[in-house]
A and B are shown apart, each in its own frame.
Chain A
Amino acid sequence: MDLIANLSMGFGVAFTPVNLLYAFIGCMLGTLIGVLPGIGPVATIAMLLPATYALPPVSALIMLAGIYYGAQYGGSTTAILVNLPGESSSVVTTIDGYQMARKGRAGPALAAAGLGSFFAGSVGTLILAAFAPPLTELAFKFGPAEYFSLMILGLIGAVVLASGSLIKAIAMIILGLLMGLIGTDVNSGVARFSFDIPELTDGIGFVTIAMGVFGYGEIISNLSRPDDEREVFTAKVQGLFPTLEDFKNMLPAVLRGTTLGSLLGVLPGGGALLAAFAAYTIEKKTKLKAGEVPFGQGNIRGVAAPESANNAGAQTSFIPLLTLGIPPNAVMALMVGAMTIHNIQPGPQVMTSNPQLFWGLIASMWIGNLMLVILNLPLIGMWIKLLTVPYRFLFPSIVLFCAIGVYSTNNNTFDIWMVAAFGLIGYLFLKLGCEPAPLLLGFILGPMMEENLRRALLLSRGDWSVFVTRPLSGGLLAASLLLLIIVLLPSVKSKREEAFVEE
């Protein structure tokens, strides 16, 4: 079977001592930074990206994938122990996870999150391996019109699933697209919106945007809140392993979460986030067994299901990136940036022209998930120690790592001025209630969208109807429209707002 042959090639690449080491370092660093409250996976990856510049491409991507899983897992740890979701997809984990921690059951909660994630990650990896080749086939049938429509679908999907105001999220995407256009236009060689600043003719570095908006913007807003709201349950973590009864309760929840997560993760947009919410809602709807703790008061299913769902979703969200080259969310947008730095153009051709990298990355995803379990269950005490470090020591360190990371990207102080500007802008966004994740997605897609629009219209001699008359492209656009309509339906709209308020 192809699948097995491919996977064994992948494991051959990933199981070299060097790559295993990088996967390990990635998971370790990712968890280390991800555990810190207020630092989500996007900021973590942006901050650690420079550390991978010197590596060969395969190792760099393996390490980045490790960082991503680590950051995600670290975020769950913070959600359970501190009631602070590191990222939007672990928001639901805080509901029951934190309650479990308050009752002295932080250990089983963390184990449930870890084991559930591992199982979901393994399933997700298999799905990714099985579906990537046929989807890649499909991708080769895509012309520029299809790519353009697909990006529209991806962007619409991203805002539909984002929390908060829909129209503001769309505006943020367009702002991101516009910012992505700054710099030299590849076709005419004209430097656009560069204000005669030589550094700007290369465009704005995406690391500067990610770091400024997600890193500095959030540090500033964290500092402006009084810090006495936080309560860390550190002394009370004892007895890591769930009881037999916990396992019995967990298992069906993990299975449901995994199924849901794998399905929803493929969708363009924040699949992992939606999956976590949906999984929790479904668990809440199922009947409680006799003697089971109600939801919202520390039910282990309320941790296991959303955690499995968001990890499965995180896994399958690699599918659109690896097969079509289109990032479905902000984290994947960063991965695109990372691939470009290593001279890999993400897209269907990666699998055929660079199979070692493709299957090696997929295999290392599974290894990364395994490592997280091995790493985190015994080391949980260490992460907890880290949470007791006062914020006044943490934030100067984070600022420092951001600054060094930004400087080392190009060895250029101009980037440091830019990141300061984006820190201010990011804080402004937070103040104005504009979510920054769609901006980053738009920023990465901007040049790609323009290029595909240009080509599609060139081929059709300026006729816009080509986007509707080509069946694949028309279908994708119809799907985006449908998504928008569904979200704008009054009944769904109120539910959606409800779902995102329920924290």
Chain B
Amino acid sequence: MSIKSQKDFFSGLMFLVVGAAFAWGATSYSVGTGARMGPGYFPLLLGVLLAILGSVIMFYSLVVETPSGDKIGAFAWKPICYILGANLVFGVLLGGLPSIKLPSMGLMVAIYALVLIASKAGDSFKLRDVLILSTILAAGSYLAFIVLLKLQMPVWPTFIAG
């Protein structure tokens, strides 16, 4: 038996594992009966259902022929790392990280960092263009979010703004 549809096989596996995990987790809460449903009742039901569907999807992926094999293809690690990394750095700089005593650097610094890192995900990276873009975005965000919408967030690093 070989995998006929890679996409379906692995999505089925994902549903099976996640469903089983939810069902297993649900048993640690009181399940109760239909008339008196405990917090575990509905998740257990859904988890089992999801696991069953997952196994059905997996079964089909082993049986039903697909012309191309439905290959998943390579993961785009570069954009994943840069985009999500930019997002994480933005969070750290904006909110600070108390566990390593990093103070909040504020929105402006965070915007420059996010745009610089995120831009790395693209095919071409020109430092000059990226710096211009970040400056425009920083100014625009200040105007839109801080001045007009009055969102509450640190704008400047704490050691400057105090």
Contact = CB atoms under 8 A, between A and B. Distances in A.
Interface of A: 50-51, 54, 165, 167-168, 170-171, 174-175, 177-178, 181, 185, 187-188, 190, 192-193, 216, 219-221, 223-224, 227, 391-393, 395-397, 399-400, 402-404, 407-408, 411-413, 416-417, 419-420, 423-424, 427-428, 431-434, 449-450, 453-454, 457-458, 460-464
A51 B122 CA distance: 28
B90 A403 contact: yes
Nearest to A451: B42
A423 B122 contact: no
Contacts of A419: 87
A296 B46 CA distance: 44
B89 to A, nearest CB: 10
Nearest to A411: B152
19 contacts: A54-B149, A167-B53, A174-B50, A175-B18, A219-B79, A219-B83, A400-B90, A400-B115, A400-B118, A407-B95, A408-B153, A416-B88, A417-B88, A420-B87, A424-B80, A454-B37, A457-B35, A458-B37, A462-B35
A431 B86 CA distance: 22
Contact of B141 (A167, A174, A404, A413): A404
B50 A178 contact: yes
Contacts of A450: 37, 42
B114 interface: yes
A37 to B, nearest CB: 15
A407 B39 contact: no
A433 B70 contact: yes
B36 to A, nearest CB: 7
A216 B72 contact: no
A416 B11 contact: no
Given A396-B133, A400-B137, A453 B50 contact: no
Contacts, number: 199
A185 B39 contact: yes
The 5 nearest A-B residue pairs measured at CB = A224-B76, A462-B35, A416-B91, A462-B34, A413-B95
B106 interface: no
The binding surface of chain A is classed by DSSP as helix
Interface in B32-53: 33-43, 46-47, 49-50, 53
Interface in B109-125: 111, 114-115, 118-119, 121-125
Contacts of A428: 14
The binding surface of chain B is classed by DSSP as helix
Nearest to B94: A407
B69 interface: no
Contacts of B91: 403, 407, 413, 416-417
B39 A192 contact: yes
A388 to B, nearest CB: 15
Given A396-B133, A400-B115, A432-B11, A177 B46 contact: yes
Given A220-B79, A416-B95, A433-B7, 16 more contacts: A165-B8, A170-B53, A174-B49, A178-B47, A185-B39, A190-B29, A190-B30, A193-B25, A220-B83, A223-B83, A396-B133, A403-B87, A416-B88, A428-B14, A431-B72, A462-B36
A417 B19 CA distance: 23
B10 interface: yes
Contacts of B84: 216, 420, 423-424
Contacts of A165: 8, 57
A460 B36 CA distance: 11
B121 A193 contact: no
B57 A453 contact: no
Interface string B44-80: 0011011001101100100000000010110110111
A236 B114 CA distance: 36
B156 interface: no
B39 A400 contact: no
Contact of A396 (B14, B36, B50, B115): B115
A189 to B, nearest CB: 9
